Amino acid sequence: MRIYLIAIGQRMPGWVQAGYAEYAARMPAETSLQLIEIPPEKRTRKADLARIAEREAGRLLAATPSGARVVALDARGRMVDTPALAGRLEQWMQDGRDVALWVGGPEGLTDQARAAADWLWSLSPLTFPHPLVRVLVAEQLYRASSIIRNHPYHRA
């Protein structure tokens, strides 16, 4: 099973690239993590932000591998603790379908994008910068896989 982190935004700071790469490299082969960066739409002072969000949502969908389970990261989603995430990851692994994790742009995801998702996941009631979300998601997926494999990384 492959996990695709499909995110709006490119040219992340070095610390984001290094943090994401560190945890992605630690993932076991059976749950490899791959980043797909979607170029953001240009935003101007008079831009129609709703239309921009629609176009970006379409690009997320277009970048999603056929048949993949879609998980949208969204503030309206369900918060889970790490052991519960490990349980979900284990279910996904047993299902065998690839997983596409969507991270929207500055305006977030559209109603249509949320409706297209199989699951809405909220990392926290806090608002995080989009670059940091990449690192948080990669670390939590690695931690969840560590729980599944009884690796000592997760010591709760």
| Residue 127, annotated as binding a ligand | yes
| Residue 49, annotated as binding a ligand | no
Tens of pLDDT, residue by residue over 124-153, are 999 888 889 999 999 999 999 999 998 877
Query: 3-149 has which fold?
Result: Alpha/beta knot (3.40.1280)
Q: Which are the contacts of 130, defined by CB distance < 8 A and separation ≥ 6?
A: 7, 8, 9, 103, 105, 106
Counted residue by residue, the chain has a size of 156
| Residue 123, annotated as binding a ligand | yes
> What is the C-alpha to C-alpha distance for residues 92 and 38, in angstroms, rounded to an integer?
24
Alpha-carbon separation of residue 113 from 18, 22, 25, 32 (angstroms)? 29, 29, 29, 24
- Tokens read off for 146: 């560590």
| Residue 136, annotated as binding a ligand | no
| 65 φ, ψ (degrees, to nearest 5) | -60, 145
| Residue 35, annotated as binding a ligand | no
Q: Coil, strand, or helix at residue 35?
A: strand
The pLDDT of residue 103: 96
Tens of pLDDT, residue by residue over 16-61, are 999 999 999 999 999 999 999 999 988 888 888 999 999 999 999 9
- Assess contact for 8 and 105: CB atoms under 8 A: yes
| Residue 128, annotated as binding a ligand | yes
